[in-house]
Structure 1
Amino acid sequence: MGRIIFDTAATINGWIADENDSLAWLFAVPGGEVPDSELLPTDAAVMVEGSTTYEWVLREGDILAHPEKWQEFHGTRPTFAFTHRELPVPKGADIRFVSGPVSEALPAIREAAGDGDIWVVGGGELAGQFFDAGALDELALSIAPVALTGGAPLFPRRVESDRLHLESASAVGQFARLRYTVHPPMSEG
């Protein structure tokens, strides 16, 4: 069974999108628009997105009018999108809409991934739900040299240091690349 990884870019003060759900701040960083391959999880067999992320991808790339652009980022991997609404699907994309708790959707997501990794693309609240369900294995962050005054938080949860173990820290262009293993809560007693 593969790992479940929340891999995202964030500002130095912990935002993954600005107040308008824009990533213009990220694309303005050298290397932000076309990320270095070291900044992407290459073994991901499945991608998972919240509805805000999914709709942003469709809108930003005008994907419904140009469905071939879906493949540029997602490839042929199945993508699970968490939503309670009916959303459009780009022609040729393998989109699987799910709603409800992460714990209920997890068996289908793991089955689709097989032995491959599962990449939680965004957002932070969805990654937090994977964390709450005890299903998040790794947190991989590309910290950009940008600060915002507000927006979508990176990880809207309180997480103590006993839950995260730093595996690596490196510079990749203008980004600080941090990888943490997520540990289960320590038993009380």
Structure 2
Amino acid sequence: MTRTQYYVAASLDGYIADSAGKLDWLFQFNDAEGVTEHYQAFIDSVGPLAMGSATYEFILGENQPWSYADRPTWVFTHRTLPAIPGANLHFTTEDVGAVHSQMVEAAAGKNIWLIGGGNLVAQFARRGLLDEILLGVIPVVLGSGIPVLPAALPSPLELTGLTRLGRGMVELRYTVPSRPPAPKG
């Protein structure tokens, strides 16, 4: 069964990027024990991706090859953005509900990864389309920055897994309680 997952890393105080939108504080943990293997197992379970324009532009700014192979990727934006050669991109202004059904079909049984910032994830959550949050907790305190999820999820999340990684990192896996989709608008 396809699950829509928010796979993200955050500082101990709940920020996914510092106040300048940078991730240097996170990248210093890339070589921590178990991180590469854990990420590879996750990405192997993923089909389509969804991201907002800020995340897409961040990836563009890294000047690295597209690392998501031929996975179909929906970029939610109201602007014209350059395409990455070789990437299977779908730029869209559609509502997340309409696009989600397209993503589930494209997933062919794999999971959907909501990648990047919490604003887009909040839209999925408000529509009842978020199944899991996989939160990597990084042992640094930023003091300010971009929050994990700028939306209320008032029902308690169910902790379904805990993975310890090197250098004091952990991943918390939460199931988001089912609720009826919110009305459009």
Q: TM-score normalized by structure 1?
A: 0.86
1:146 to 127, 130, 140: 140
**2:183 paired residue number:** none
CA contact 2:162–2:171 (8 Å) conserved in 1: yes
Distance 2:52 2:153 in 1: 21
Does 2:101 align with 1:121?
no
Give the partner amino acid of 1:171. Answer: R
Q: What do you get for the CA RMSD once the two structures are aligned?
A: 1.9
Report sequence identity in percent.
Answer: 36
Aligned partner of residue 36 in structure 1, secondary structure: helix
Once the two structures are TM-superposed, the CA of residue 39 in structure 1 deviates from its matched residue by 3.6
Does 2:169 align with 1:167?
no
CA contact 2:35–2:166 (8 Å) conserved in 1: no
Give the partner amino acid of 2:163. Answer: S
**2:50 paired residue number:** 48
Q: May I ask how many residue pairs the two structures share in their alignment? A: 176
* Residue range with higher mean Cα deviation, 99-108 or 121-130: 99-108
Does 2:124 align with 1:130?
yes
**1:66 paired residue number:** none
Aligned partner of residue 21 in structure 1, secondary structure: coil
* Residue range with higher mean Cα deviation, 143-152 or 34-43: 34-43
**1:111 paired residue number:** 105
**1:17 paired residue number:** 17
**1:58 paired residue number:** 60
C-alpha distance after superposition, 1:67-121 (max 9, x if no partner): xx11xx2111111111000100111111101114211221222222121110111
Aligned partner of residue 113 in structure 2, secondary structure: strand
Distance 2:52 2:22 in 1: 15
Once the two structures are TM-superposed, the CA of residue 30 in structure 1 deviates from its matched residue by 5.3
What stretches of structure 2 of length at least 5 have no aligned partner?
181-185
Once the two structures are TM-superposed, the CA of residue 149 in structure 1 deviates from its matched residue by 2.1
Distance 1:154 1:182 in 2: 15
What stretches of structure 1 of length at least 5 have no aligned partner?
64-68
